[in-house]
Amino acid sequence: MKIHNYSAGPSILPQEVFKKSAEAILDFNNSGLSILEISHRSKDFVAVMDEARALAIELLGLEGKGYQALFLAGGASLEFIMAPYNLMKVGGKAAYLDSGTWASAAIKEAQFFGETVIVASSKESNYNHIPKGYTVPSDADYFHCTSNNTIFGTQMKEFPSLDIPVVCDMSSDIFSRVLDFSKFDIIYAGAQKNMGPAGTTLVVIKEEILGKNGRAIPSMLDYTKHIKAESMYNTPPVFPVYAALLTLKWIKDKGGVAAVEKLNIAKATLLYSEIDRNPLFKGASVVEDRSTMNATFLLNDEEHAPIFDALWKEAGISGLPGHRSVGGYRASMYNAMNIESVQVLVDVMKALEGKI
């Protein structure tokens, strides 16, 4: 039976990435060595790292615009620390938009470094929408936002144009839609949603914003040192970077981010249309802020849950239960999920309607 993987992460990846990764585990580049055992300083892996960094910049449309791409360890959670360490001045302040669990976690880390202004929050409504109409202090050292809120199923559709650096956590929607990425000065994203297996984090930085905060920064947390070392300051996560490169190549072969976005819109439209049509279900987030990556929805009557759960499990669906913060269900439709799998879930929802 085909399994339809709706896990929020680590998540579905393209089948060809699994296949090529498996081949590399046995024999990488006909070297007789596994990708798991090669030196990160070897010619073959340096080529992987260089290509992955360059392809990330290309797919984001940032070539020739002064950006550097890094593949680091520590996940987005470490970037919650690295961003303020590198950007917040001594005695300075930063501005944050509180739109979900991970945005809140980033705020807590920034507070160790200085004044942290929360420009707006949707916490009072359990983060079911993206705050709007807020003002970002012009004297802040930077503004931080989270583009997509995996747990709550919300996504920023617009971003402010500011005269201060803009930092964005794009962990769960990187490479899923076309944006003017030059509006951002730092973009970071854990790989385990749209880009590869867990274990590496993509960080894209406009280099000119660094070195201006007056802080002494520990070497492993200093973006400038990682840039100078071309993402090889210490031993990088070799296999996750290789799998990320394969995934980036897959995106390019699909036609790039614009082509992938069209597929993502089609998948989200199919599922949200059924959520809105079917009287047994309701969406968990406000309509205008719905995420194309993570659709959160609830049963109108929880007594129907045992029947629905049996139906989707029988259909080969995996990873559908929602986060405990929201309850209900969460269908994560990352780039690698095909529309046929979304149709299976829609058919199951229709089948429940026929049984009630």
Taking 90 as the threshold, does the pLDDT of residue 148 lie above it?
yes
Domain count, the chain: 2
Taking 90 as the threshold, does the pLDDT of residue 1 lie above it?
no
pLDDT of 269: 98
Residue 170 lies in a domain: yes
Taking 90 as the threshold, does the pLDDT of residue 11 lie above it?
yes
Residue 343 CA neighbour count, 13 Å, CB half: 4
DSSP state at residue 129: S
Taking 90 as the threshold, does the pLDDT of residue 356 lie above it?
no
Residues spanned by the domain of 200: 15-254
What are the pLDDT digits (tens) for 17-37? 999 999 999 999 999 999 999
Q: Long-range contacts: 283-286, Cβ < 8 Å, 24+?
A: 283/153, 284/128, 284/152, 284/153, 284/322, 284/326, 284/328, 285/128, 285/129, 285/152, 285/153, 285/154, 286/128, 286/129, 286/154
What are the pLDDT digits (tens) for 157-198? 999 999 999 999 999 999 999 999 999 999 999 999 999 999
- The radius of gyration of the chain's CA atoms, rounded to the nearest angstrom, is 21
What are the pLDDT digits (tens) for 258-305? 999 999 999 999 999 999 999 999 999 999 999 999 999 999 999 999
Provide, rounded to the nearest whole percent, the portion of the chain with pLDDT above 90. 99
- Mean pLDDT to the nearest integer, 331-335: 98
What are the pLDDT digits (tens) for 208-240? 999 999 999 999 999 999 999 999 999 999 999
Q: How confident is the model at residue 317 (pLDDT cuts 50, 70, 90)?
A: very high
Domain boundary at 254, 279, 294, which? 254
Q: What is the rounded CA–CA span in Å between residue 204 and residue 336?
A: 22
Residue 73 lies in a domain: yes
Domain boundary at 224, 254, 284, which? 254
- Mean pLDDT to the nearest integer, 53-69: 98
DSSP letters for 194-244: TTSSTT-EEEEEEGGGSS-S-----GGG-HHHHHHTTT-SS---HHHHHHH
Reading the block at residue 107, the tokens are 């705020």
Q: Is the pTM of this model over 0.95?
A: yes
CATH of the domain at 124: 3.40.640.10
What are the pLDDT digits (tens) for 111-124? 999 999 999 999 99
Same domain, yes or no: 132 and 246: yes
Same domain, yes or no: 98 and 225: yes
What are the pLDDT digits (tens) for 84-100? 999 999 999 999 999 99
Strand pairing of 329-332 and 317-318?
Answer: unpaired
Q: What is the rounded CA–CA span in Å between residue 348 and residue 356?
A: 13
Whether 193 sits among the annotated catalytic residues: the reply is yes
pLDDT of 350: 98
CATH of the domain at 285: 3.90.1150.10
Residue 6 lies in a domain: no
The residue from 141, 169, 173, 222 that is catalytic is 169
Same domain, yes or no: 180 and 240: yes
Q: How far is CA 336 from the centre of its chain?
A: 13
Residue 5 lies in a domain: no
Residue 150 CA neighbour count, 13 Å, CB half: 26
Domain boundary at 202, 219, 254, which? 254
The residue from 102, 141, 250, 312 that is catalytic is 102
The residue from 141, 173, 185, 193 that is catalytic is 193
Q: What is the residue type of 57?
A: I
Q: What is the rounded CA–CA span in Å between residue 193 and residue 231?
A: 21
pLDDT of 160: 95
Mean confidence (pLDDT) of the chain: 97
DSSP state at residue 320: -
Specify which residues 305 forms β-bridges with.
Answer: none
Residue 9 lies in a domain: no
